[in-house]
Copies of this chain bind each other. A is one copy, B any other.
Amino acid sequence: MPSVEIIAVGSELLTPERVDTNSLWLTAQLNELGFEVTAKSIIGDQRQRLTQAFRQALESADIVLATGGLGPTEDDVTRDCAAEALGVSLEHWDSLWDDLKAKFARMGRPIPENNRRQASVLQGGESLPNPNGTAPGQWFGRQHGALILLPGPPRELKPMFTNHVVERLRPLAGDNVLSRRTLKVYGLGESAMDQMIAHLYPQHPEVTVITLFTPLDLEIHLLADGPTAEQGLAKIAPLEQAVRDVLDLYVYGHSTQSLAEVVGGLLLQSGQTVVTAESLTGGLVAQRMTEVAGSSRYFLGAYVTYSEGMKQTVLGVRPELLQQYSAVSPQVAEAMALGARQRSGADYALSLTGYAGPDGGTDKDPVGTVYLGLAGPQGVESKRVKFPGDRELVRSRSAQASLDWLRRALL
């Protein structure tokens, strides 16, 4: 699959607030056309650095696509740097200059002399029309590749790419497109998973594997190219199956499915309902379940009993239990789950009690210790889990562990 490097030009893109959204949009378009983006960079308006960046990208990738820096000011150095890196000169095009003058005349404004820069084109290149602004784009063909210059504003860049770049790129893409399959995994560390499945990769050299570790779970991206999306997916299928065979229940879903969505699907299939009884998570499990559209068909509600008083009045946890074992104990986790199941009439109840930190915890149960409860048609169970990380992470991981427990119970 031919490679693309994207260079965004402009010091204003190097502030803490700005995200280079152009490159995300372009990556999606390029992947669909059958190109792989192998690097992207943002370079300030410095002539020497930008020229170097062009040189390196031209060496490394088939296609180099630059955005921004095509305006009329001294700071707009993209044209000059591209020319220098390619070793060609810039030519003044009278026809472009006439277009620009006409554009300004239509706006009833005199054309500043420095707009003349926008009429210069890489020697041997083509100019790409810009109906939405003053900066024309440029296409410079190379052996099996191209250098492309596009304006920075998204409403100029996007139509120019769609209307003038796609048709020129298509012949360079070969006929191949990139297909992707994502597996979502819960319950394994990154290196443990790697050890389980890394030996499978070399048997499928046509598939690129990317593993992604998030605070909540793992993603395995399987990528392959082929003349059609179907053919790419057909290459991926055997490795996907091999991975699923090894990881088994650790794989909970695919694509963008969340764990709550998968659990919801299982409840819906079996016509069962759930409630939650939450202490340290403060409603986070409920919030994740109700993120899913249509969750009212299986999710009845939640009892967020943050205080001991509410554990007693709302869930009927006996004061002796709290006194003897403390609120963070398997006994209380089980009592919370039982109380929630009985009072709501749901088929299942999940409960969570623990120390999220930064304060709290005991020698026996330090911060990060959480007791999970699960009450269902077969009775009630509890388990103790211990998570590293700060308050947010402990809460988030507890919620995920609770959802995964229900998923496994439903399978």
Contacts and interface: CB of A to CB of B under 8 A. Distances in A.
A304 B286 contact: yes
Interface in A131-176: 132, 134, 153, 155
Interface residues of A, number: 100
A213 interface: yes
Interface string A289-330: 111011110011111111101100110000000000000000
Given A56-B56, A215-B153, A195 B15 contact: no
10 contacts: A16-B25, A38-B44, A39-B42, A53-B56, A71-B191, A73-B211, A153-B213, A155-B390, A293-B391, A296-B306
A282 B290 CA distance: 6
A95 interface: no
Nearest to A289: B282
Given A12-B212, A44-B39, A290 B303 contact: no
A208 B199 CA distance: 54
Contact of A310 (B15, B107, B210, B300): B300
Residue among A18, A41, A215 having the largest count of chain B Cβ atoms under 10 Å = A41
A284 interface: yes
A310 to B, nearest CB: 4
Contacts of A208: 11
A287 B290 contact: no
A411 interface: no
A229 to B, nearest CB: 16
A341 to B, nearest CB: 13
Contacts of A60: 49, 52
A299 B280 CA distance: 12
A77 B391 CA distance: 32
Interface in A343-383: 343-345, 357-359
A409 interface: no
Interface stretch (A86-94, A108-116, A240-248): A108-116
A393 interface: yes
A179 interface: no
Contacts of A286: 282-283, 304, 306
A196 to B, nearest CB: 10
A98 interface: no
Contact of A301 (B56, B276, B306): B306
Given A27-B14, A42-B41, A290 B302 contact: no
A39 to B, nearest CB: 5
Contacts of A53: 39, 56
A191 B296 contact: no
